[in-house]
Amino acid sequence: MADRAKDIPVAKEGIPFIVIGGLLTLGAWMIGGVWATWFFGFLTLFTTWFFRNPAREIPPGEHVIVSPGDGTVVAVESEFEHRYLKEQSIRISIFLNVFNVHINRMPIGGSVENMVYQPGKFMMADHPEASCGNEQNALMLCRSDGVKVLCVQIAGLVARRIVSWVVPGEQVEKGERFGLIRFGSRMDVYLPQSSRIHVKVGSKVEGGSSILAEVPCVEIS
């Protein structure tokens, strides 16, 4: 899959909001509404900044697992992932607030084995129950050596739309942009128990460039 969003400064999903904000700002200015012009101008600038799409330097190495999003690590826990992987895994949860970049990136390179959307609630994304109860989109990723990683986009309290640009069967690269979640959200990554974790609760991470963990490559005979 080609990185569909790499050459644009803002995510395409943000363009309608930016255009509307710009038109409202222009309209307020034309009728002489000073405070309205400042308000809509600020709103337009904030929306543009929210949907920003910065370039990132992707760490080399197939064994390296990178963060799927910007934010703060709120959980690093060992648990049985019963819905998709059906095995004991390490879950790393990343909370994205409204000030973080909301473009999501692939934690590993390989193939998209499956993608499952689940409707649900809109609890605060940093709440522990959000992993199972909130609206979400789960991507099952498989590395060329058979290592599997589950990456889950989770809506938050004010997030109302999860966007994914991939479909099952696509080949993807590590650090490649694959979607976004609007206005506050969370990313969960489920890794094999053999992973060597590089982050802890409270760690600040950047999508595509921060290393979450390392999973040794498996020799395929």
Active site (catalytic) residues: 185
Residue 174's CB is within 10 A of a number of other CB atoms, namely: 21
Nearest to 179 by CA among 198, 155, 202: 155
Q: Is the dihedral of CA 85, 199, 62, 219 positive or negative?
A: negative
186 with 126: CB under 8 angstroms?
Answer: yes
> Residue 215, SS3?
coil
Task: Report d(CA 42, CA 44) in Å as an integer.
Answer: 5
